[in-house]
Chain A
Amino acid sequence: MSMDNFGLYKLMHEDAPKNNNPLLEQPTLAKTHTTDPIVTGTSVLAIKFNGGVAIAADTLASYGSMARFRDIERLKSFGKYTIVGASGEYSDFQYIEEQVKQSLIDRDYQLDDGRSTTPREIYQYLVRVLYNRRNKFDPLYNVLVIAGYENGKAFLGQTDYLGTHFEDVTLATGYGSYIAQPILRKFYSEKNGNITEQEAKDILKKCLTVLFYRDARAADKVQIAVINDQGPKIDEPIKLETQWTFKGF
């Protein structure tokens, strides 16, 4: 049990030692809260372009400083119009994914009313889920980016483990908010928001490269996804081209 630095295995095991406190009859696993993120994904980046939104993240989930899972997906499509990208605790994101998928089955398929849940509805729903969990002092440790395209309108919003939420034309989480967001904002305003799909993907790739150079929890294996009137399209992971021969390195 080299991974078990919380001693959970011992606690969960049948012959775990009884709690010594005579006031507590039950072992202390009755109620547990997440206090810290353990297996984490780093930045998610996104930018709106003409007729859609591009969103990107690397494929790494870290365990502290260890590159624990190097080929996981942090971008997931939800329904016909939405992609959600996640940084933070990966297990919490997987839990959220299951919840949203089930709720989409209830709303879109079971109901069969010809109405699909819109990106804004998924965004608002996630805000409520994350905010309600923070109210229980048992947060889902994520910062989520919700990208969508529905009825001719692009949507891009972000929400976090406190329920803080907002929309913008460019978004970046984690270290990306320091390193990539200024690059994206500048690019967007210089182009006056008039950006092609290819330009959007290119600038995201550039930002991911910069992040890989400076964020020690970032990886060079990344996914770039696009959502437009054709629906969500998440590309297979690609390897970033890097140059390490500078004198400075």
Chain B
Amino acid sequence: MFRNQYDTDITTWSPAGRLHQVEYAMEAVKQGSACVGLKSNTLVVIGSLKRSPHAELSSYQKKLAKIDDHIGFGIAGLASDGRVLIKNARTQAINHKYTYDTPISVQRLVLQISDKSQVSTQRSSKRPYGVGLLISGYDEQTGTHLFQTEPSGNYYEYKAIAIGARSQSARTYFEKNYQTFEEADEETLILHALRALKGTTGDNVELTSKNASISIVGKDRKYKLIEEEQLEPYLAKLEENAAATTEQQPAEQQDDVDEEMVQ
């Protein structure tokens, strides 16, 4: 990245009205392996692509975390920074349950996490969190939610979104298909998540039950994590569907490939 005289500390503005250190933190998010999220009226699914420092010798880094029965996190960027926010969010959830005897509202948690991130952009003694979050949540009063947070302290709510390396293809995929998500069932949502994730793996990397994982929250159910063997059936279905689609609509498949090449 191009260095200039306004990027050595967090709190100094550039004449162009930018906070370079904060923007560098956002770059860290873009370098992290992808996280995708989408929701229906009753369910929210987060999918993540995991990296391992060494394909054969090491384990994969965990990127999905349960915050409470109704809230899940997915992280992209510095996983260690992510753990700090996860720990904080879990504490907030527990404290809310203690004081009010009800599950914490997703919106409230997102706001509190974002406010925490914002503080790190305005103090010279601090460093912004180098992590972006996808936050899935279900709320009795307001239904399903999917949020994205940034190191800047900004947050956005989405119907479907992807963050991290090569996530543009996933966003493009969601843009094409999001209208069917509202009424979709669990399996369909998972397959959409995996298909979106598949586009983010990069050259010569396959989506496997080792490097992919899925989390689900939703109405009348508790947080569920799907990975390893439990993911196999979905990956198998993904293969079947892909084969069928190629046979039936070769033209459309061609379109997809073109767009991915643009990234």
Contact = CB atoms under 8 A, between A and B. Distances in A.
A124 B101 contact: yes
Contact of A124 (B99, B139, B142): B99
Contacts of B101: 120-121, 124
A113 B99 contact: no
B102 A121 contact: yes
A111 B112 CA distance: 10
A156 B108 CA distance: 26
Contacts of B183: none
Interface residues of A, number: 13
Given A116-B141, A151-B140, A151-B141, A111 B102 contact: no
Name, among A115, A120, A151, the residue most crowded by chain B CB atoms within 10 Å (CB to CB): A115
A239 interface: no
B100 interface: yes
Interface in A96-148: 107, 111, 113-116, 118, 120-121, 124-125, 128
B137 to A, nearest CB: 11
A118 B102 contact: yes
A107 to B, nearest CB: 8
Interface in B103-142: 105, 107-108, 111, 139-142
Contact of A113 (B102, B108, B140): B108
Contacts of A121: 100-102
Interface residues of B, number: 13
A116 B108 CA distance: 12
A121 B140 CA distance: 13
B164 to A, nearest CB: 26
A120 B142 contact: no
B107 A111 contact: yes
A159 to B, nearest CB: 12
A115 B100 contact: no
Given A121-B100, A124-B99, 16 more contacts: A107-B108, A111-B107, A111-B108, A111-B111, A113-B107, A113-B142, A114-B107, A114-B141, A115-B108, A115-B142, A116-B141, A118-B102, A120-B100, A120-B101, A121-B101, A124-B101
29 contacts: A107-B108, A111-B105, A111-B107, A111-B108, A111-B111, A113-B105, A113-B107, A113-B108, A113-B111, A113-B142, A114-B107, A114-B141, A115-B105, A115-B108, A115-B141, A115-B142, A116-B141, A118-B102, A120-B100, A120-B101, A120-B102, A121-B101, A121-B102, A124-B99, A124-B100, A125-B99, A128-B99, A151-B140, A151-B141
